[in-house]
């Protein structure tokens, strides 16, 4: 019988988990210099696990690149502001398609 893809251990290192194993908690305490070798491995203090958000970092790099180089060009050689205006018009289109409710009769 084959194993389901969600149960495989290939991508376990890249996924964010809130609960860490004991050895991972000890490793994190050592990095923070809060671990003493004579301490027991039972009753460990809580360790904060922070999820890293990559999306904001990419946006910040893009903003810095645009500010430093003026107008940045995309892979096709077109300016990015034109592509941004297309994206804005696509998001604004559904709002324009909504019809106003009929006026109430008095």
Question: Which pLDDT score is estimated for 30?
Answer: 92
Three-class DSSP category at 79 = strand
In eight-state DSSP terms, residue 56 is H
Reported pTM:
0.39
Q: Are 80 and 71 in contact (CB under 8 A)?
A: yes
Alpha helices (H) along the chain: 22-31, 55-69, 80-97
| Secondary structure (H, E, C), 28-39 | HHHHCCCCCCCC
Three-class DSSP category at 73 = strand
Q: How do residues 15-70 score in pLDDT, each as one tens digit?
A: 778 888 899 999 999 998 988 888 898 988 888 888 777 676 667 777 777 777 65
């Amino acid at each position: 019988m084959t194993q389901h893809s969600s149960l495989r251990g290939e991508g376990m290192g890249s996924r964010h988990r809130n609960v860490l194993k004991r050895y991972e908690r000890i490793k994190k305490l050592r990095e923070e210099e809060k671990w003493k070798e004579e301490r027991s491995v039972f009753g460990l203090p809580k360790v904060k696990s922070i999820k890293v958000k990559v999306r904001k970092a990419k946006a910040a790099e893009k903003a810095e690149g645009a500010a430093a180089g003026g107008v940045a060009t995309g892979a096709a050689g077109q300016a990015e502001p034109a592509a941004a205006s297309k994206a804005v018009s696509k998001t604004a289109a559904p709002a324009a398609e909504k019809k106003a409710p009929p006026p109430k009769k008095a």
